[in-house]
Amino acid sequence: MAQEYIVQEWLDGKAGAWRRLSANSELEAAEQVTGIKLRTVGKLGELRARVRVVSNLKEETDFYASQ
């Protein structure tokens, strides 16, 4: 079942605007915004997206560019 997320894309170390969308998971939401495969472990320089569930905006999951 789809859930509402807000996703912030990071390009070249710069934060973009938050986008609200529906997806089946945080990873799916992040990949919809970035258009690339992502992973949950990485270095700060590899950060590509931050995702929050609309129903709980205090918690955030970071996703990094795949190697």
What per-residue confidence (pLDDT) applies to 66? 87
DSSP three-state, residue 53: strand
Q: Over the stretch 8-65, which tens digit does the pLDDT of each residue have?
A: 999 988 999 999 999 999 999 999 999 999 999 999 999 999 999 999 999 999 999 9
- Let me know if 27 is exposed, middle or buried by CB neighbors in 10 A (0-12, 13-18, 19+): middle
- Let me know if 51 is exposed, middle or buried by CB neighbors in 10 A (0-12, 13-18, 19+): buried
* Rg of the chain (C-alpha set): 11
**Could you state, in order of their start, the residue ranges of all structural domains in the chain?**
3-65
State the chain's maximal CA–CA distance in angstroms. 33
Q: pTM for the full model?
A: 0.91
* Residue 1 binned pLDDT confidence (cut-offs 50, 70, 90): confident
